[in-house]
Chain A
Amino acid sequence: MTLRDATDELREHASRLSGYGMSRRGFVRLVSAGVGSSAVVALLAACGGGSKSTATTAAASTGTSSSGASTATTAATAASTSKAGTPAAQSSAAASTGTSTSSTAVAAVKGGQAHVLWNASPVTLMPIFSTSGSEQQVERLMFGALVKMNDKLVPTPDMASKIEATPDAKSYTFTLHDNVKFSDGTPLTSDDVRFTFQAAIDSRSGSYWNGRLKGIVGAADFSTQKATSVTGIVTPDDKTVTINLTGGDAAFLVNLCNFSGLGIMPKHILKDVAPDQLRKHSFALAPTVTAGAFKFVKYATDQYLELARNDTYWGTPPPLDSIFMQILTSDVALAQLETGKIDLMTLSVQDLDHVKSLPNAQMQSVASPSMDFLAVNMERDYLKDKRIRQAMLYAIDRDGILKQIYAGQGEITNSPIFGPDWMGVPEGLNEYKFDPAKAKQLLKDAGWDGSRTLDMVYTPVTKERTTAMQIIQNQWSDVGLKVNIDQVDTAEGNRRTIQASDFDLRPTGGGVFRADPGVSGTYMVTSTWTPKGGNYGHYSNPDIDKLYPEAQAAGKPEDRKVLYTQIAKILNDELPWIFLYSPNSAYGVAKRLQGFMPPSYVDNKLWNAETWSVTS
């Protein structure tokens, strides 16, 4: 059919339509009626079925998971019969499933739901691929880990009832609890542990745990497929796993449970998946077979994740029926905290006073393991003189910033080593108390060129940090240091600092420095200069290169403390980073939520969710 025939036919159709005696007016009336009614019908129809279409359920659903879902729905239907949207809804649900409560008692109820704020949508829920702490804590709760991070940043046994380490820190033996079962009833054995570790080490899977676990004997060969298994993982029986390391690593457990814990994946579900396909598997966003205290029910994209109590859990059954991780902006979450819809969220400094004034919630604040600092590009000639960097630190009134911007919630840090408890803050460090005169003097001595403008590549994360940077800029200009704050987004910031080394200063915050003094090693040694590692400032000092591995391998905490104190003194003097402070972690907790213990690391809120309960 030619084009001409097509147009002729079209014209014929059109004239036939008008031949039916329908005028233009009539046609318009018909069309608008049709569109209007179909829109209304579609709206009504889909309103009812709307949320069903957004649920993503996996192919690998099991019998136990559907019974778990029905428990959740009976609690939910009880809630919907009462007035929706008020705390009263939760209480009727709790009462229907467990012991009764009087209206004035604060006794915990068995059952009920907890709603926790999640600050970002998950990219994946498979333990070996998560790079964000907020995903990892949920995975730890669902999958269970050998060892988990507790609120004081101490590795505590989770799925392993016993953990033994040899004095030279080269070998760790984990003994699993009796009765550890996946939610589909299959027992979890050392085979699943081996499977998880090997999937992580295998370079084909693309997991970044490959780097974290490269200290295991045989990992290098397995990761490049030169061996068929990792010889350093020994599984003498179903309940025992021994991991042998090539070099003593006293911080291995900390590494393993950073940020919350590495979930153990089910071998029987995933064993036939090719390593490079693991990330794309449906299990990644719908892990229905897990061995932890809570199991996956549903993930509504960008809205919430629903977890329900796992009936096959090896430990004491958790009091809560279900936990919802809700994805909201913090302003809305604050409003929800006030109306009782959210039970737990991380708070920023500006919201602390508001939450303190709420009748149904309280503010809890603890020291955090992270630190704010300015990374310096040590390759730039004009920044190589340490007097310049010392002047930079003397010129900042860190005490003032902490008091004014962070409401005093935090502590000043003078080196990247300030914890944990056995380490403490090393003695003998220069405190760099605010002294602009001294800063000016140091700059003069070093022959600083006052006309030079430094380039600060800054990715805005929190309002407090942005204000702090502006204050620093002002205080530096008072002593003759000109700096330009270049606001960029994460992708560009990373490209400039990590890939292109095109920066003078980079404000950064985060990390888990307080968890173990060895954490800072990644950023300070020459062998981890980018692109090989995380040392994007390209700091290099042979003494530091020697001391860090020595301290890592030393067995006893007392010996390690001595070595780390030496490291801290050197870094405190040379200032490869302008160390600022460690701001506290603050949480808004609804009073109805019992058992929550504020963790040092903000993305580890769920560390003891197995023991949480609600009073209504």
Chain B
Amino acid sequence: MGRYILRRILISIPVMIGITMVTYLIVNLAPGDPISAMLNPETIASQGPDWVAQQKAALGLNDPLPIRYVLWLKQVAQGNLGFSYNDRLPVTGKIRERIWPTTKLMLTVEFIALLVAIPLGVISAVKQYSAIDYIATIFGFTAVSIPSFFLALAAIYLFSVKFGWLPAAGMGTIGSPSSLGDSAKHLVLPAMVLGLSQAAPLIRYTRSSMLETVRQDFMRTARAKGLSEVIVLYRHGLRNALIPLITVVALDLPKLLGGAVIIESVFAWPGMGTLAIEAVRSRDYPVIMAINLLSAVLILVCNLLADVLYAFIDPRIKYS
């Protein structure tokens, strides 16, 4: 197993470099450049004739693409993610500010998704084709089909404006010192909106996995032993049904970093998603590359983690 892990890690390195190369190429191929993004006739009007050219040179945009890529790679290898073109702040600082809000939100989202999905999935499987099964299925389809921003706005309208139970946006009440209750109240709406739509595919996974498991012989044995139905279902059935689910969740972990752009902007949640979309809009190459790099690392790590976890949990799987 150890050798397998090591091999995977070693292969990841050229994969990472390949990913960054492709990303760099694509990002630079996008029409427009950082200077165009911040131009307006007023600004140019008031500058000298060479202002645009000067700005481009200052940002190093005139060098050929491969050279810029190699320079960037060298910089990253030394641990420096560069400076944002927008506000000249170091990229590491910008990312560090936003990692926690995004992680907090996405962890809660995963938690809610699993909390909703697993019981519903089990019940759907055990009582297949019953009313609950159909309700869960319909709910799943609806949650996936409704666009998240619409759901978010509807939730805000209902719970914040009409009923006044929950705050509409932000991470905490502005002007008041932070408290656990306040943070939690602000977390409810965005986490619920996103969590419910995340739950939908998980319900299906749990359901189909559970369906497969309850048909197995060992379930009949457990029942024959005289164990209660609950113990049979949960200790013997669900435990085994969850194995593929673990893989799915592990592969979902990179979302912890990416965040959900739309939900974050609607709820004014200062996370990675808003940073990413702003960077793309203003062609802020260093920030875009840094976020992509982080995502790539996380995805590779999570893939490895999923495979290893799978092998650990299920003794039937063996890696050479």
Please, which residues of chain B bring their CB within 8 A of the CB of A485? none
Chain B 249-277: CB-based contact to A (< 8 A → 1; otherwise 0): 00000000000000001111010001000
The answer to whether A269 has its CB under 8 Å from any CB of chain B is no
- Interface with B: A140-148, A526-534, A555-563, which one? A526-534
Interface residues of A in 1-60 (CB under 8 A from B): 3, 6-7, 10-11, 14, 24, 27-28, 39, 43-44, 46-54, 56
- CA gap between A364 and B104 in the complex, in Å: 40
Which has the most chain B C-beta neighbours within 10 Å: A50, A124, A498?
Answer: A50
Query: Are A491 and B157 in contact, with the CB atoms below 8 A?
Result: no
Q: Shortest Cβ distance from A86 into chain B, in angstroms?
A: 8
- CA gap between A212 and B97 in the complex, in Å: 35
The answer to whether B52 has its CB under 8 Å from any CB of chain A is yes
Interface residues of A in 110-153 (CB under 8 A from B): 113, 115, 121, 123-124, 131
Please, which residues of chain A bring their CB within 8 A of the CB of B182? 84
- Interface with B: A241-249, A298-306, A544-552, which one? A298-306
The answer to whether A324 has its CB under 8 Å from any CB of chain B is yes
Please, which residue of chain A has its CB at the minimum distance from the CB of B55? A206
- CA gap between A328 and B187 in the complex, in Å: 16
The answer to whether A77 has its CB under 8 Å from any CB of chain B is yes
Select one of B157, B173, B184, B283 contacting A84, CB under 8 A. Answer: B173
Interface residues of A in 509-545 (CB under 8 A from B): 511, 522-523, 528, 530-536
- CA gap between A124 and B38 in the complex, in Å: 13
Query: Are A10 and B2 in contact, with the CB atoms below 8 A?
Result: yes
Query: Are A491 and B161 in contact, with the CB atoms below 8 A?
Result: no
Query: Are A329 and B266 in contact, with the CB atoms below 8 A?
Result: yes
Q: Shortest Cβ distance from B39 into chain A, in angstroms?
A: 4
The answer to whether A339 has its CB under 8 Å from any CB of chain B is yes
Please, which residues of chain A bring their CB within 8 A of the CB of B1? 11, 14
Select one of B31, B101, B268 contacting A332, CB under 8 A. Answer: B268
Query: Are A494 and B36 in contact, with the CB atoms below 8 A?
Result: yes
Query: Are B312 and A534 in contact, with the CB atoms below 8 A?
Result: no
- CA gap between A115 and B167 in the complex, in Å: 15
Knowing A27-B312, A50-B178, A80-B179, the reply to whether A208 touches B104 (Cβ < 8 A) is no
Query: Are B313 and A336 in contact, with the CB atoms below 8 A?
Result: no
Query: Are B268 and A328 in contact, with the CB atoms below 8 A?
Result: yes
Query: Are B108 and A24 in contact, with the CB atoms below 8 A?
Result: no
Q: Shortest Cβ distance from A544 into chain B, in angstroms?
A: 15
Select one of B39, B88, B177, B315 contacting A498, CB under 8 A. Answer: B39
Please, which residues of chain B bring their CB within 8 A of the CB of A39? 107, 111
The answer to whether A407 has its CB under 8 Å from any CB of chain B is no
- CA gap between A336 and B47 in the complex, in Å: 40
Q: Shortest Cβ distance from B111 into chain A, in angstroms?
A: 8
The answer to whether B43 has its CB under 8 Å from any CB of chain A is yes
Q: How many residues of A contact B (CB 8 A)?
A: 89
The answer to whether B41 has its CB under 8 Å from any CB of chain A is yes
Chain B 96-124: CB-based contact to A (< 8 A → 1; otherwise 0): 01101100100110010000000000000
Which has the most chain A C-beta neighbours within 10 Å: B2, B167, B265?
Answer: B2
- CA gap between A46 and B107 in the complex, in Å: 13
- CA gap between A56 and B153 in the complex, in Å: 30
Select one of B89, B172, B268, B278 contacting A329, CB under 8 A. Answer: B268
Knowing A50-B172, A76-B175, A491-B281, the reply to whether A24 touches B313 (Cβ < 8 A) is yes
The answer to whether B87 has its CB under 8 Å from any CB of chain A is yes
The answer to whether B3 has its CB under 8 Å from any CB of chain A is yes
Select one of B41, B178, B278 contacting A51, CB under 8 A. Answer: B178
Query: Are B172 and A51 in contact, with the CB atoms below 8 A?
Result: yes
- CA gap between A1 and B83 in the complex, in Å: 38
Please, which residues of chain A bring their CB within 8 A of the CB of B49? 531-532
Q: How many residues of B contact A (CB 8 A)?
A: 79
Q: Shortest Cβ distance from A276 into chain B, in angstroms?
A: 9
Please, which residue of chain A has its CB at the minimum distance from the CB of B169? A332
Query: Are A54 and B266 in contact, with the CB atoms below 8 A?
Result: no
The answer to whether B45 has its CB under 8 Å from any CB of chain A is yes
Query: Are B270 and A522 in contact, with the CB atoms below 8 A?
Result: no
Please, which residues of chain A bring their CB within 8 A of the CB of B33? 491, 495
- CA gap between A24 and B173 in the complex, in Å: 46
Select one of B40, B270, B312 contacting A301, CB under 8 A. Answer: B270
The answer to whether B42 has its CB under 8 Å from any CB of chain A is yes
Select one of A54, A75, A84 contacting B101, CB under 8 A. Answer: A54
Please, which residue of chain A has its CB at the minimum distance from the CB of B90? A280
Please, which residues of chain B bring their CB within 8 A of the CB of A46? 100, 104
Query: Are B282 and A24 in contact, with the CB atoms below 8 A?
Result: no
Query: Are A302 and B36 in contact, with the CB atoms below 8 A?
Result: no
Q: Shortest Cβ distance from A503 into chain B, in angstroms?
A: 13
The answer to whether A322 has its CB under 8 Å from any CB of chain B is yes
Please, which residues of chain B bring their CB within 8 A of the CB of A345? none
Interface residues of B in 147-174 (CB under 8 A from A): 153, 156-157, 160-161, 164, 167-174
Chain A 337-349: CB-based contact to B (< 8 A → 1; otherwise 0): 0110100000000
Select one of A24, A47, A210, A534 contacting B183, CB under 8 A. Answer: A47
Query: Are A28 and B312 in contact, with the CB atoms below 8 A?
Result: yes
Query: Are A329 and B265 in contact, with the CB atoms below 8 A?
Result: yes
Please, which residues of chain B bring their CB within 8 A of the CB of A304? 170, 174
- CA gap between A199 and B2 in the complex, in Å: 60
Knowing A24-B315, A44-B180, A498-B36, the reply to whether A11 touches B47 (Cβ < 8 A) is no
Please, which residues of chain B bring their CB within 8 A of the CB of A488? 31
Knowing A7-B6, A335-B161, A489-B281, the reply to whether A499 touches B52 (Cβ < 8 A) is yes
Query: Are A6 and B6 in contact, with the CB atoms below 8 A?
Result: yes
The answer to whether A73 has its CB under 8 Å from any CB of chain B is yes
Query: Are B37 and A490 in contact, with the CB atoms below 8 A?
Result: yes
- CA gap between A208 and B46 in the complex, in Å: 7
Knowing A489-B281, A530-B44, A531-B52, the reply to whether A123 touches B171 (Cβ < 8 A) is no
Q: Lowest 4 CB-CB distances: which A-B pairs, in order? A: A211-B46, A534-B41, A491-B32, A534-B45
A-B contact pairs, 6 of them (CB 8 A): A54-B97, A85-B164, A123-B86, A300-B270, A491-B34, A499-B52
User: A residues engaging B (CB < 8 A)?
Assistant: 3, 6-7, 10-11, 14, 24, 27-28, 39, 43-44, 46-54, 56, 72-73, 75-77, 79-80, 84-86, 113, 115, 121, 123-124, 131, 203, 206, 208-212, 214, 279-280, 284-285, 300-304, 306, 322, 324, 326-329, 331-332, 335-336, 338-339, 341, 488-492, 494-495, 498-499, 511, 522-523, 528, 530-536
